[in-house]
DNA sequence: GTTCCGATTATCT
DNA sequence: GATAATCGGAACT
């Protein structure tokens, strides 16, 4: 028998995604928990690092035109956009802006809070089934280093959370198994704003946000 | 059909 | 810091 979805009461509703612009959401999502109530178990982590990708922004996948890859970005706010990068990893975005407008918030790092063991199992499984040269690697989530390395990067957190392009691209955060738990808004002083990571266009735009002093961000 | 390159990661130096 | 791993998608011809 299927378990009921847990903690639906704190799931962020559609209106929240609709009522804020992309950069505001990128800030507001910090401190909230990303949750995946999957068949294997529930995993969750506090969002500690985000990036905004906007219309007219050359680094945005939707900058040029709608394509099969970026189609989810043009969906309604609160949709998931999952894309493959470097042919090894996937990154997860929360689609923002009105339907027909291609904007999104990239989730770059989580501080794990629930399902730590499952995260470790998934990350080790990815090693085992990944490149031959990495097959003997392991992550021990009971050690400080292993714990810290579970979700401190956009490709890592997708693995740890059990998110896949096939299953979750186009998924709704307001009705699906992946959702965000609301949190109290953080004071501006807790949020650091910088330029984005790993891009070649729009490199000077200050669209990256992370929690000040947090040890789980991808780079600091 | 062909070319070019990437919103990364883990490892080694 | 530098580099290998390694191939799908976008933008060309």
How does A170-208 read in b/e, with b if 16+ C-beta sit within 10 Å? Answer: ebbbbebbbbbbebeeeeeeebbeeebeebeebeebebb
Residue A145 belongs to a domain = no
* Number of domains observed in the structure of chain A: 1
- Is the pLDDT score of A8 beyond 80? no
Residue A123 belongs to a domain = no
Yes or no: say if A191 and A213 are a contact pair by the CB < 8 Å rule: no
Residue A193 belongs to a domain = yes
Instruction: Please report how many Cα atoms fall inside a 13 Å half-sphere around the Cα of residue A41, on the Cβ side.
Output: 12
Residue A104 belongs to a domain = yes
The residues pairing with A172 across neighbouring beta strands, listed in sequence order, are A79
For the segment A140-159, the average pLDDT, to the nearest whole number, is 92
- Is the pLDDT score of A185 beyond 60? yes
Closest nucleotide to A53, Cα to C1': B7
Q: Which domain holds residue A205?
A: 8-111+163-211
Smallest CA–C1' distance to C7, residue: A87
- Is the pLDDT score of A133 beyond 80? no
- Is the pLDDT score of A178 beyond 70? yes
Residue A69 belongs to a domain = yes
Model confidence at A123, pLDDT cuts 50, 70, 90, reads: very high
Yes or no: say if A50 and A108 are a contact pair by the CB < 8 Å rule: yes
Q: Tell me, what's the pLDDT at A4?
A: 59
Residues in A 126-145 whose C-beta is less than 7 A from nucleic strand C are 131-133
Residue A197 belongs to a domain = yes
Smallest CA–C1' distance to B6, residue: A86
Give the whole-angstrom CA distance, residue A107 versus residue A14.
18
Average pLDDT of chain A is: 91
Q: Which nucleotides of chain B are near protein (any atom < 7 Å from a CB)? A: 5-11
Closest nucleotide to A83, Cα to C1': B7
Return contacts of A124-133, CB within 8 angstroms, 24+ apart.
A126/A159, A130/A88, A131/A88
Nearest to A11 by CA among A183, A151, A159: A183
Answer for A65: CB within 7 Å of strand C. yes
List the A60 CA – B7 C1' distance (angstroms): 8
Give the whole-angstrom CA distance, residue A96 versus residue A41.
28
List the A86 CA – B8 C1' distance (angstroms): 7
Closest nucleotide to A131, Cα to C1': C5
Residue A78 belongs to a domain = yes
pLDDT tens for residues A28-78? 999 999 999 999 999 999 999 999 999 989 899 999 888 888 999 999 999
Q: Tell me, what's the pLDDT at A145?
A: 87
Yes or no: say if A91 and A154 are a contact pair by the CB < 8 Å rule: yes
Model confidence at A3, pLDDT cuts 50, 70, 90, reads: low
Closest nucleotide to A201, Cα to C1': B7
Yes or no: say if A154 and A108 are a contact pair by the CB < 8 Å rule: yes
Residue A57 belongs to a domain = yes
| CATH number, domain containing residue A62 | 3.10.300.10
Model confidence at A134, pLDDT cuts 50, 70, 90, reads: confident
């Amino acid at each position: 028998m299927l378990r009921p979805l847990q903690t639906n009461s704190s799931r962020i509703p559609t209106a929240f995604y609709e009522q804020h612009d992309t950069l505001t959401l990128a800030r507001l999502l910090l401190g909230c928990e990303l949750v995946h109530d999957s068949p294997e178990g529930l995993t969750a982590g506090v969002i500690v690092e985000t990036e905004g990708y906007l219309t007219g922004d050359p680094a945005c996948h939707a900058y040029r035109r709608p394509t099969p890859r970026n189609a989810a970005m043009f969906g309604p706010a609160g949709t998931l956009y999952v894309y493959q990068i470097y042919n090894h990893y996937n990154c997860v975005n929360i689609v923002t802006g009105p339907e027909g407008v291609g904007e999104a918030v990239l989730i770059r790092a989580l501080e794990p809070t629930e399902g730590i063991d499952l995260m470790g199992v998934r990350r080790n499984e990815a090693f085992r089934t990944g490149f031959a040269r990495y097959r003997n690697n392991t992550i021990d989530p009971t050690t400080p280093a292993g714990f810290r390395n579970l979700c401190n990067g956009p490709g890592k957190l997708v693995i740890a959370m059990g998110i896949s392009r096939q299953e979750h691209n186009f998924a709704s955060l307001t009705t699906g198994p992946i959702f965000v738990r609301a949190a109290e808004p953080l004071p501006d002083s807790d949020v650091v704003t910088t330029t984005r990571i790993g891009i070649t266009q729009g490199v000077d735009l200050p669209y990256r946000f992370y929690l000040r002093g947090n040890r789980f961000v991808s780079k600091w």
